[in-house]
């Protein structure tokens, strides 16, 4: 608790980001309590109706309540963000620890492969992966997760290389600690700061990529509510129902800004290189 | 320098072989048989088998990749499975569209980002800094396709103007080309501009703290000279690195922007290729994108030494 208060005092902009994220998470969890319609429920008599006290954000061309779709869309975005970044972090930690700790052939093989993945625009990499796996929620998370593996592998490997030279690691080695113990007890806890910072920024990126893939029709499939897909579906009717464009765009923007703010804030606190 | 450039370009070869090999293997796993898609619902299995034989689709994937690479080295990218037109011809038609959007995207974002970043830095913590920082934060948080859709909406609601579709060569009809390119370029440039502006600001703040800036001010140089000839030039290295990294994302972003504005570029070709299981087209697009991405990074590396003569390549 003390640490949280210190973080808020030291970095109120990051704290605002964190505050918004907590609200978005609560909205996603309590979606059924907040909304009066289900996200796929069609009210054909109320198609394309503007925002009102009945439909706070208006309705789309099928008469679906935009407010409900956006609230439930938060679930999709957060889920994709957390799980895909989780995939990137877990696999990246594993590969980065092996490459940085054991060096040699493991290092060369892993890092060359990572260079290969980084030598291609990540959104296109995700696009190829999702085409191979087939578009749905699970595969969207896998595809985005894969694009984050090289990012985290590099960060972890770099940190392991510098931590390994510390005396406490050498002392552990001299005392006869096993590789597994050294990695899990001594190295991993000390390399988590840059990983956490990168993860919070990656969450913003993952949410944007999901929106982009769904926009192209290759991510979350209709009628499931995804902010990207909502933007894409409403494009043709935007002159008739501009609210179907504006609210999903705002939802993406606010969520991504929150994660970026938190990421920036965490970086200021956790990154020893930034002292101002 | 020349040796360095040659070495860098040669080092791209394994990278490009690697990425094309990966993608080649990957698209081989895409469910759906191109022969069946070509024939439609009326084709029989015998006809499908004939097509597979003709196109070499029944060979092992490694052999197909080696054959494909062999062709590529000779400058032949094969024929599109769907249109039976040479892939090279399709790429030559589509690539200029993507290049133009990306190129103007970079120019426009530099035009917006460098001055705003510099102004932010020299007015640190004042109102103007605050405004630019908020704007750049919004900029990095809005996906380019959303900016694109919002721009279309704004233009049609306010000016009753819809962006023209199709594409004309900028050298033949510059005015029309500019009206077509304007919105996609702005949509694409927003995010890049925002991130370059942030980087310029922080890099500039770092440089302004240096002793030589104080010396320059102390010896009575004009503020403008200090900022533009001393500080800005020295703060451009990290900005340049960022641009190199971001051009890759810009190429990716261009793919989506082309979809938003119905522009016949590489991205839409790739998407149709993927949709139709048109392997030669997909591989052609991937090859061109991978090569452009790699070349941009070489150019960025080389330009370091132009900005900072202390950086020399042997």
pLDDT per residue as tens digits for the range A237-249: 888 888 989 999 9
Query: Cβ of B259 under 8 Å from any chain A Cβ?
Result: yes
A206 or B206: whose pLDDT is higher? A206
- Structure confidence by residue, pLDDT tens digits, A93-109: 999 999 999 988 999 99
Mean pLDDT calculated for residue range B26-55: 77
Q: Name the residue among A120, A128, A276 with its Cβ closest to that of B293.
A: A120
Confirm if B197 and B117 have CB atoms less than 8 A apart: yes
Q: Name the minimum distance, in Å, from the CA of A229 to any CA of chain B.
A: 11
Q: CA B250 to CA A33: how far, in whole Å?
A: 40
Neighbours of A220 (CB within 10 A): 26
Across chain B, mean pLDDT equals 85
The pLDDT mean for chain A works out to 88
Closest CA to A73 of A111, A108, A24, A122: A24
What is the distance between the alpha carbons of residues A230 and B75, in angstroms, rounded to a whole number? 42
B214-224 pLDDT, tens digit each? 888 888 888 88
Average pLDDT on A174-195 reads: 89
A21: its two tokens: 């994220």
- Closest approach of A133 to chain B, Cα-based (Å): 7
Sort out which chain A residues have CB atoms less than 8 A from B274's CB and list them: 127-128, 131
CB contact under 8 A, B289 and A121: yes
Residues of A in contact with B23 (CB under 8 A): 128
Distance (Å, whole) CA A9 – CA A51: 39
Residue A129: closest C-alpha in chain B: B26
The DSSP call for residue B79 is B
Q: What is the mean pLDDT of residues B40-49?
A: 78
Q: Does A111 touch chain B (CB under 8 A)?
A: no
Q: What is the pLDDT of residues A9-67, one digit of tens each?
A: 777 888 899 999 999 999 999 999 988 888 888 888 888 888 988 888 988 888 899 99
Q: Is A250 on the interface with B (CB under 8 A)?
A: no
The residue whose two tokens read 């002292």 is: A275
pLDDT at residue A87 greater than cutoff 90? yes
Residues of B in contact with A231 (CB under 8 A): 145-146, 149
Confidence at residue A273, expressed as pLDDT on a 0 to 100 scale: 56
pLDDT in tens, A225-270: 899 989 888 888 888 888 989 999 999 999 999 998 888 888 877 7
- B100-114: b or e for each residue (b if 16 or more CB lie within 10 Å)? bbbebbbebbbebbb
Interface test mutation site (partner A, options B31, B146, B147, B156, max chain A beta carbons within 10 A)? B146
Query: Does any CB of chain A come closer than 8 Å to the CB of residue B294?
Result: yes
Q: Pick the residue of A20, A50, A131 with the most B CBs within 10 A to test the interface with B by mutation.
A: A131
- Check CB contact under 8 Å for B26 and A124: no
* Candidate from B26, B205, B260 with C-beta closest to A128: B26
Contact B141 A239 (CB under 8 A): no
What is the distance between the alpha carbons of residues B283 and B274, in angstroms, rounded to a whole number? 10
| Position A200 confidence tier, pLDDT thresholds 50, 70, 90 | confident
Write out chain B residues lying below 8 Å of A242, CB-based. Answer: 153, 157
Distance from C-alpha of A126 to C-alpha of A123, rounded to nearest angstrom: 5
| B252: contact with A, CB 8 A cutoff | yes
Contact A257 B137 (CB under 8 A): yes
Q: Is A59 helix (H, G, I), strand (E, B) or coil?
A: strand
Per-residue pLDDT, averaged over B297-305, amounts to 79
Q: Using a pLDDT cut of 90, give the percent of chain A over it.
A: 42
To the nearest whole Å, the CA of A268 is away from the closest chain B CA by: 13
Q: How far does the CA of residue A200 sit from the closest CA of chain B (Å)?
A: 13
Residue A272: the pLDDT is: 56
Question: In A, which residues are within 8 Å of B156 by CB distance?
Answer: 238-239
Mean pLDDT along residues A119-148: 89
Q: Which residues of B touch A212 (CB under 8 A)?
A: 143, 145, 256
- Where is average pLDDT lowest: A51-60, B10-19, B104-113, B167-176? B167-176
The ipTM (two decimal places) reads 0.85
pLDDT at A219 over 90: no
Name the pTM for this structure. Answer: 0.88
User: Once rounded to an integer, what is the mean pLDDT over residues B101-124?
Assistant: 92
């Amino acid at each position: 608790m003390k640490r949280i208060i210190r973080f808020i005092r030291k970095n109120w902009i990051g704290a605002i980001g964190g505050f918004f994220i907590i609200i978005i998470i609560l909205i996603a969890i309590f979606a059924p309590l907040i909304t009066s319609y289900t996200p796929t429920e069609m009210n054909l008599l109320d198609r394309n109706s503007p925002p009102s006290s009945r439909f706070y954000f208006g309705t789309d061309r099928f008469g679906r309540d935009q407010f409900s779709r956006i609230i439930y869309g938060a679930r999709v975005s957060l889920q994709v963000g957390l799980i895909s970044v989780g995939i990137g972090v877990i696999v990246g930690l594993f590969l980065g620890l092996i490459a940085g700790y054991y060096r040699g052939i493991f290092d060369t093989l892993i890092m060359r492969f990572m260079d290969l993945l980084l030598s291609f625009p990540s959104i296109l990499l995700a696009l190829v992966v999702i085409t191979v796996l087939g578009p749905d929620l699970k595969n969207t998370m896998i595809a985005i997760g894969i694009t984050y593996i090289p990012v985290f592998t590099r960060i972890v490997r770099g940190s392991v290389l510098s931590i390994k030279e510390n005396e406490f690691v050498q002392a552990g080695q001299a005392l006869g600690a096993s590789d597994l113990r050294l990695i899990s007890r001594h190295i991993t806890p000390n390399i988590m700061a840059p990983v956490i910072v990168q993860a919070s920024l990656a969450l913003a990126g993952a949410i944007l990529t999901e929106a982009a893939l769904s926009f192209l029709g290759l991510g979350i499939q209709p009628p499931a509510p995804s902010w990207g897909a909502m933007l894409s579906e409403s494009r043709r009717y935007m002159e008739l129902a501009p609210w179907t464009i504006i609210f999903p765009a705002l939802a993406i923007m606010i969520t991504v800004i929150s994660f970026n703010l938190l990421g920036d804030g965490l970086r200021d606190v956790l990154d020893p290189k930034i002292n101002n | 320098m020349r040796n360095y450039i040659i070495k860098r370009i040669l080092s791209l070869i394994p990278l490009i072989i690697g990425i094309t090999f990966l993608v080649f293997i990957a698209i081989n796993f895409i469910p759906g048989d191109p022969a069946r898609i070509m024939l439609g619902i009326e084709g029989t299995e015998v006809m499908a088998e004939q097509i597979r034989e003709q196109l070499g689709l029944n060979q092992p994937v490694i052999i197909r990749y080696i054959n494909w690479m062999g062709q590529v080295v000779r400058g032949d990218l094969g024929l599109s499975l769907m249109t039976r037109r040479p892939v090279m011809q399709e790429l030559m038609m589509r690539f200029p569209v993507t290049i133009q959007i990306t190129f103007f995207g970079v120019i426009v974002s530099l035009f917006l980002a460098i001055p705003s970043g510099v102004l932010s830095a020299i007015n640190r913590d004042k109102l103007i800094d605050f405004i630019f920082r908020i704007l750049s934060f919004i900029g990095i948080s809005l996906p380019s396709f959303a900016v694109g859709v919002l721009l279309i909406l704004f233009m049609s609601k306010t000016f009753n103007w819809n962006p023209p579709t199709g594409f004309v060569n900028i050298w033949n009809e510059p005015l029309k080309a500019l009206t077509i390119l304007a919105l996609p370029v702005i949509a694409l440039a927003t995010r890049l501009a925002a991130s370059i502006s942030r980087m310029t600001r922080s890099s500039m703040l770092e440089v302004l703290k240096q002793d030589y800036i104080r010396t320059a001010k102390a010896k009575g140089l004009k503020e403008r000279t200090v900022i533009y000839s001393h500080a800005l030039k020295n703060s451009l290295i990290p900005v340049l690195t960022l641009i190199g990294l971001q051009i890759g994302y810009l190429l990716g972003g261009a793919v989506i922007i082309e979809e938003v504005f119905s522009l016949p570029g590489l991205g839409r070709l790739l998407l149709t290729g993927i949709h139709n299981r048109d392997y030669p087209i997909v591989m052609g697009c991937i090859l061109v994108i991978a090569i452009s991405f790699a070349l941009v990074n070489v150019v960025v590396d080389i330009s370091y030494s132009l900005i900072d003569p202390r950086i020399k390549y042997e």
